[in-house]
Every structure is written in structure tokens, then in C-alpha cells.
Chains A and B, each alone.
Chain A
Amino acid sequence: MVEAMEYRVLLKKDIRVWVEWLMGKGELHAPVAKSASHPQYQFEKISQPDTVCLDYATTILPPKQCVQPVRETLIRFDRVANQFTLSDQVPERRLHIIFGIHTCDIHAFNFLNTVMRDGNADTQFLARSANTAIIGLRCRQHCDDKSFCESMGTNEPPDTGYDILMTDIGDRYFLELATERAAKLVDDLSCIPHTGDEDVVKWRQMLADSKKNFDRRLSINIEELPAYCEANYHSPMWDVIGKKCVACGSCTLVCPTCYCFDIRDELDMSLQGGERYRVWDSCQLGEFAAVAGGVNFRRDRRDRQRHRVHRKVKYPKERYNLFACVGCGRCSRACIADIQMLDILRQLGAKSHEFQRT
């Protein structure tokens, strides 16, 4: 565990005071319950501090929209006859605060940052990411039976990638301040005092207790997943999954590390000006890898599902030494055909001995 720069505490009843104060500093996104009767949650831009719900099972959509909007302008253009002008899209300079994000999603953010920094730096993403303050939350148990964060090592926070981490220690939250910016996010608010010795003892006890709450759900050595993928490349398991898949793209839509996009043009009503924008895309959709001449490099759903899984636990592991699956279980929850990531990974581990690498 990385030592925080400073510890603070915050009484639960004072959460709204801090949230309201933070709302004055930047655009604050936090989990809210969709409805009281419906135990589902989503990240929303907060306008009422009371709506923030920190005692939440994971959200339907990850908070990646804050750094990678669904739709984003890349360039603007104006054309008159044979002439045209192109204008740049300068990254916005605005503070975003993501409040109450689970550690798995912080890992996912770190992955996205690694990808976007690699090679051709994606400046719009990086600018937005750099100007996003992360106030995370340590989890005390799996969100539900679809989660397997403990197996992927993401129930613990990463070394970097957050400003503040909160831990629920009963009537109050224990705050670990990890960055220079963190100090400015709590400032000298009287409701966020320095910790007493009791708080620290309680916090350490809570961390130790939480560890026990997480059961191991994937009993394979995850470091072997790239090799398991390779061994199972031609396994009939992909046929079974492919037959179930309805190619709706929900799994990638809700994935906190999926970042594929399409680039499209749109003309204004004048038909002279317009913009080129990028929009979330999904490798599960039929035309994703199609080229001219009727050739499609991943025509079958089997191939597309295999590709998705490989993009989570094989390719990024080989390229960045990172898994792009953080075990949040969102894809499994969103799948209307009941394709379960945990099942797939278990199968990969179990079947690896049957399909030897050729």
C-alpha cells in the first residue's frame, strides 16, 4: 500500500456539505440511485448534493463519459465552393470531479490513460483526464455475484490515479489524501478535520476486515490468461458463446475500459459547414471490421466475442502489462443473452489443457 500524504475524516452527515462545496469548484459526477425501488445506480452530474449515494453497488455505465464523451467533436469545417476552412478543437479547460468512484473504475481510468498516452497522444482525452479530480471509494465487499474484482486485483486501489480515497469506517469516512490537488479539494473545511489516533486504528481494522469479505471467484492464475487465450483460440467454447450473442454491443458500451470509436462527418443545415466527430463504437457490431468489396474480417459473432475477450485479458497484458478487465461485472449484467465474463474466464482456465498450442 502506498502511504497517503495526509489523512482526514469526514462525518457521514457532512458529506452533503463537502459535495456542495466541491460543486462550486467544478463539474461533479457521483453515483445516484435510479429510483428508490430499483437498486440500480448511475453516475450523474450532480445538481442536488442530497442525491449522491455512496453506498452503492456498481453503476450501469462506468464514469468513462467524463473523460471520453459518447460523442466528441474532432474538427469543424466550413466549405464554400472549392474552398474550405478547418478549425481545431481545443481541449476544454474545466475541472471535473468524479466523486465516490470504486477502485475497479480507478484501475480502468489508469488503463485508458495508458492507452491514450501511448504512441500518438490523444490530447483531448489526456487534457480532460488531467483536469479530472478523482475522489475514490474503497469497497468493502463485491458489488454482486457478477463482480470478480478481487480476482483481478482491483478491489485494492492502484498506486496512482486518484486524489483522495474514502473508506467507510462507521459513522464517518476516512480520507486518504494522495496528491497536491487533494489538499485543495478538502482545503481547510472545518467539516474535514485531521484524523485522531482512534480513526486510524478503526480504519486499519476496517481494511483488514474488508479483505476477508472478498471471496476468490476466479481460481486461476490470471497471469496465465494470455496463454489460456492462445491455447483456446480455436476452442468450441467460442462457438457456444457466439451462438448466444445477439451482437447488441451492450457489453462494450458498459465496459469501463472499452474506448473504440468511429469517426463520422455531419453537415449543418446550411450543408456548408459541419463537424467531424468521434462516437463510441463496438467491436461486437457486424460492420466493425468490414472493408470495401464485401470483406469482413470478423464476420461471425464467435470471432467478435473472442476478440472482445482477447482485448480484455490478452492483448493489453502483452502490450502494457495491464489487464483491460477490472472484474466489475458490468458486461455480464448488461448482456441480454446471459454471456458471463466470469464464466468465460473460468472456461479459459479450465479448458487450457485440452487445446494445446500448435
Chain B
Amino acid sequence: MSSSALEEELTTEYEDWTNLFLPRTAQILKSTPLTATDTLHRLRFQNGDIGDYKPGQFVMVSMLGIGEVPISICSSPTHIGGFELCVRSAGTVTQAINELNAGALVPIRGPYGRGFSTEKMVGHDVMIIAGGIGLAPMRSLIQYLLDQRSQYGEIWILFGAKRPGEVLFQDEVLSWSSRPDIHFLMTVDIANRAWRGNVGPVTSLFHYVKVDPHNTCAAVCGPPVMYRPVLRELQHLELPDAQMFFSFERRMKCGLGKCGHCLINGHYCCKEGPVLSYAEIRELPEAM
């Protein structure tokens, strides 16, 4: 009697719940090498759409048997019919992804995290500061802003690359640079003979920037060493803390705010980030 009584107590409640670690299947529509190490993949989920997401959000991409990696979505949610990921071959998983061609099926979880607060940017001037592969998530934001250009004020793009030949999305970057409604500034760390532009870190471009700080939002993404110098420049411009948005890179493993790898002090970068305003992180010594 009692055995069955205890069995009746067993909960089955969670058995119908979604296994959050189970990816959906996406198909690569097109793979385009951008540089020696970076490839742009256009994908679409087989069953249904990726759903609503914000520029700055990321997905977990699987190579079964090798592992999973977090990759920012680099296309805008306003572009329908798929999404794009720019993958740099930096490890075993990313290398395997970049060996795939159109037609390949890829398990993907997400989108995860909190992206850029585009609502807050409406009616404001927007400064986009990107370094290297940090341009990938920023491309999503730039496309998003340009698709609704009239809702935003001045748009500044400050972009730093290591070398002139290592620029991602070259055609798009070229089109941004020639648009009259964008202030486009670019710099390289190491110039070649053909380079006529600015040489130096991305912070050296701030010299050319003129904004009304109270009406400006900044969005920053780049290598970790870039954050403190950029922050100093933005503070020098007197942007309010709540209008500076940084996209942080951390070792995200679960994407669900559980595994602990991505913590910035007590904040889960995967869940509460990866985009956080300076107002949210100024008390966090581990952020920058």
C-alpha cells in the first residue's frame, strides 16, 4: 500500500517541460569567407523563424561531438528570411563551423541574453564604437538603425581594425562610409602603403567627434582591452552612464544563467548581458 502511496507522490511535472539544452536545427543558406579567419554564414531554422531578437543577442551554435560556442547574431531582426553569424576560427568548434558550406545543418539554441536597448536610442544620436570582430554584433545594430533611419538622430560609426586588409563586411563598411547620413570614422593599428586614413587605436577617432552628450547613446563592442580607454573618452564627452552600452565577451557555456562561467562579479553575462549599460556595471570591478 505504502509503496504505491510514495510512488503517487513522485512528480511528473517537469517531464513535459522543454529541455533547455535541446537545440533546434538550422540550415546554412550561404557561407561567405570574409577574411582568412572569418566566415559569414546565413542560416534559417528549419521549423519556424528565429523569433524576435535584439541586436546584440547571441545564439549557441553546436558542432555535435565537438561542442557549443556563443556567437553574436550579426544581422538585423528587421532583415527577414534568416539570420547571419560571423564566425572567427579561434578554436575547434569555430573551425568546424567555418568548414561547413551551404546546405549544412547546424543545431542552434537561442537567441539568448539582452541586446542593445534600441527603444532608448529612438530620438537620440547614436555613436557606435567597434573594434575588430566587435563589428559583427554592431553590424546587426547598424542595419537595424539604418532600416529605421528616420527614428534616430545623427549616427556615428567609429571603427578600428588591426590592418586595412582585415576589415569585415568590406562592401557594407564602404557603403556606410559613403552615406551622407552617417559620420563614419575608421582607423587601423597597422597601416600599409595604400592606407590614407587614420592610424592608431579607436580612441584616436574621438578627436573628430562632436555630439550633444545628453542626447547621445553609445554602443561599444570590441576586444576587452578596448573598453577602458573607450569608456574614458565617452566620460570625457560627458555621456550619461545609462546611455553608454557595452557588449561584453565572456565564456558562456549554458546561456541560461546557471553554469557560472560567464559571471561578471555577480552578474550573468549570458542572461543579464551581454549588453549592459555603464550605469549597471560601474560598480563591477570585473567588467573592464
Q: Which residues of A contact B (CB under 8 A)?
A: 24-26, 74-75, 77, 79, 82-84, 86, 88-91, 93-95, 115-116, 118-124, 126-127, 130-131, 133, 180-181, 184-185, 187, 233-234, 259-267, 271, 274, 276, 278, 281, 283, 288-293, 295, 297-298, 303, 307, 310-311, 314-316, 318-319
Q: Return chain A residues, CB-CB under 8 Å to B23.
A: 75, 86
Q: Return chain B residues, CB-CB under 8 Å to A74.
A: 19, 21
With A86-B23, A120-B256, A263-B67: A127-B261 Cβ-Cβ less than 8 Å: no
Q: Within the assembled complex, what's the spacing in Å between the Cα atoms of A265 and B96?
A: 14
When the two chains form their complex, are residues B258 and A259 in contact, meaning their CB atoms are under 8 A apart? yes
11 pairs of residues in contact across A and B, judged by CB atoms under 8 Å? A74-B21, A120-B258, A120-B271, A121-B17, A122-B20, A130-B14, A263-B253, A264-B67, A288-B261, A310-B266, A311-B263
When the two chains form their complex, are residues A127 and B64 in contact, meaning their CB atoms are under 8 A apart? no
Does B223 interact with chain A (Cβ within 8 Å)?
yes
Does B183 interact with chain A (Cβ within 8 Å)?
no
Known: A181-B6, A187-B2. 7 other contacts (CB 8 A): A75-B22, A84-B105, A88-B19, A123-B18, A184-B2, A267-B65, A288-B251
Q: Return chain A residues, CB-CB under 8 Å to B3.
A: 24-25
Residue in A121, A127, A264, A315 whose CB lies within 8 Å of B15: A127
Q: Return chain B residues, CB-CB under 8 Å to A264.
A: 67
Q: Within the assembled complex, what's the spacing in Å between the Cα atoms of A180 and B64?
A: 44
Q: Within the assembled complex, what's the spacing in Å between the Cα atoms of A310 and B249?
A: 21
Contact with A along B78-99 (1 / 0, CB 8 A): 0000000000101100100000
Q: Within the assembled complex, what's the spacing in Å between the Cα atoms of A126 and B253?
A: 20
Q: Within the assembled complex, what's the spacing in Å between the Cα atoms of A170 and B7?
A: 33
**Chain A residue nearest to B266 in the complex (CB):** A315
With A94-B10, A123-B17, A281-B259: A318-B224 Cβ-Cβ less than 8 Å: no
Does B5 interact with chain A (Cβ within 8 Å)?
yes
Q: Within the assembled complex, what's the spacing in Å between the Cα atoms of A212 and B243?
A: 56
Contact with A along B46-88 (1 / 0, CB 8 A): 0000000000000000101111100000000000000000001
Residue in B20, B103, B250 whose CB lies within 8 Å of A82: B103
What 8 pairs between A and B have smallest CB-CB spacing? A315-B266, A260-B260, A292-B90, A127-B14, A120-B256, A74-B21, A187-B2, A123-B14
When the two chains form their complex, are residues A119 and B256 in contact, meaning their CB atoms are under 8 A apart? yes
The count of chain B contact residues (Cβ–Cβ below 8 Å) is: 55
With A91-B14, A263-B68: A318-B21 Cβ-Cβ less than 8 Å: no
**Chain A residue nearest to B106 in the complex (CB):** A84
Q: Return chain B residues, CB-CB under 8 Å to A75.
A: 19, 21-23
Q: Which residues of B contact A (CB under 8 A)?
A: 1-3, 5-7, 9-15, 17-23, 25, 62, 64-68, 88, 90-91, 94, 103-105, 107, 223-224, 249-251, 253-254, 256-261, 263-266, 271, 285-286
**Chain A residue nearest to B17 in the complex (CB):** A123
Residue in B9, B13, B224 whose CB lies within 8 Å of A181: B9
Residue in B2, B67, B260 whose CB lies within 8 Å of A281: B260
Shortest Cβ gap from B164 to chain A (Å): 21
When the two chains form their complex, are residues A262 and B250 in contact, meaning their CB atoms are under 8 A apart? no
When the two chains form their complex, are residues B13 and A130 in contact, meaning their CB atoms are under 8 A apart? yes
**Which of A94, A115, A131, A283 has the most B CB atoms < 10 Å from its CB?**
A131
Q: Return chain A residues, CB-CB under 8 Å to B17.
A: 121, 123
Q: Within the assembled complex, what's the spacing in Å between the Cα atoms of A119 and B25?
A: 24
Q: Return chain B residues, CB-CB under 8 Å to A130.
A: 11, 13-14
